Amino acid sequence: MIQNPIFIVGCSRSGTCMLGEVLKKHPHIHCLIEYPTTFKYSQYLCFHSEIHNDLLTRKHVKYLYNNAWKKTWRKCQKCSSGCQKIQYRRHGIFSPCYIPVNIKRYADKSHSNLINVNLLREVFPQSQFLHIYRDARDVVTSMLHYDRLTRRFSTKIKVGKDSSWPQPWYGIESKKHFFEWQEWSLAKKMAHAWESRIQQAKKHQKNFSKSSWLDICYENLLEQPATTTQKIFEFLELDYFPQTHSHIYKENSAKWQSFLQPQQLSDILENSPSLHDLGYLP
Ligand SMILES: [Zn+2]
């Protein structure tokens, strides 16, 4: 039974994969990156908050994670393409997902778990959370380039008139809100979802102790990878290894400047007031 797992959480397109890779490269961590079973279940839970308090759900989460962390060590074939890419780069095509010696901590990168934090905390009372956030303008730019997300925000695959409310994945409060939301532009919907994630994270940060919740700024990780990862491993009570951040490049920020249309930019600025609080805007 795993006692103190690490969960990487955050809004989509905010660097959760990059952070997952940092953890995966640490010799004493086994980190799942969008591992199919846990990833899919975490997404299911986002849309079904009504089952979060069921004993059966808690049992299922515990079983699912303990199983996933144990199973994947031999080969990476059953992992997500993200996990395989990292491992192939490091060890070639027949790479194990991790080397099962000296593993001290288990981690999971299913970013949508930001919505399921309270449930995970119930199941794993000693768990630690790494929350990564990024400039909403870059997040929305990246979302607009990502088919799976543009489809999610433009059609009604996951949410409809008969859904239960609220729907925290979209930041929709009620059925009435849903009908207004349907008319919004993509940029506005996405910025609203970003803001809603930041608000959820803020609540957790307030309720949790400093030893169980850590906020990480994506841009800081790019600008100062060594200092930022040192802080992360200090928080996780693990040694620091410089090779963990060898994949981080500075160039990946402020892409929005050459992509967003004026209307999209104003939709974002009007719907993500936390940009001020987080220091992205004066
Ligand atoms: Zn793997």
- Asked if residues 9 and 192 have their Cβ atoms less than 8 Å apart, the reply is no
CA of 265 to the centre of ligand 1 (A): 37
How many whole angstroms from 97 Cα to the centroid of ligand 1?
4
What stretches in the chain show pLDDT beneath 70? 1, 90-94, 155-158, 160-162, 252
Distance 222 CA to ligand 1 centre (A): 24
Residues 272, 274: Cα–Cα separation, whole Å: 5
Beta strand segments in 89-209, E: 105-109, 128-133
**Residue 1 maps to a domain:** no
Q: Which of 133, 139, 136 is nearest to 269 (CA)?
A: 136
**Residue bearing tokens 């690490």:** 6
The domain total for the chain is 1
**If you measure from the C-alpha of residue 93 to the centroid of ligand 1, how many angstroms do you get, rounded to a whole number?**
11
Residues in Cβ contact with 36 at an 8 Å cutoff, skipping those fewer than 6 apart: 78, 79, 80
Do the beta carbons of residue 20 and residue 31 sit within 8 Å? yes
pLDDT for 165: 85
Q: Do the domain assignments include residue 282?
A: no
Cα of 146 from ligand 1 centre, angstroms: 23
Q: How many CB atoms lie within 10 A of CB 257?
A: 11
Instruction: Look at the block and give the residue holding tokens 């986002």.
Output: 46
How far apart are the CA of 123 and the centre of ligand 1, in A? 24
Which two three-digit tokens encode residue 107? 């981690």
CA distance 19 to 25: 10
Report pLDDT for 1: 65
Expressed as residue numbers, the domain containing 178 is: 6-277
Question: Model pTM?
Answer: 0.94
Please give the pLDDT value at position 237: 96
- Parallel, antiparallel, or unpaired for β 6-9 and 29-33? unpaired
Q: How far is the CA of 87 from the centre of ligand 1 (A)?
A: 7
Residue 33 lies in a domain: yes
CATH of the domain at 271: 3.40.50.300
Q: Is 236 left (phi over 0), alpha (psi -120 to 50) or beta?
A: alpha
Between the CA of 43 and the centroid of ligand 1 the distance, in Å, is 19
Q: Assess if residue 50 is contained within a domain.
A: yes
How far, in Å, from the CA of 80 to the mean position of ligand 1? 7
How far, in Å, from the CA of 75 to the mean position of ligand 1? 7
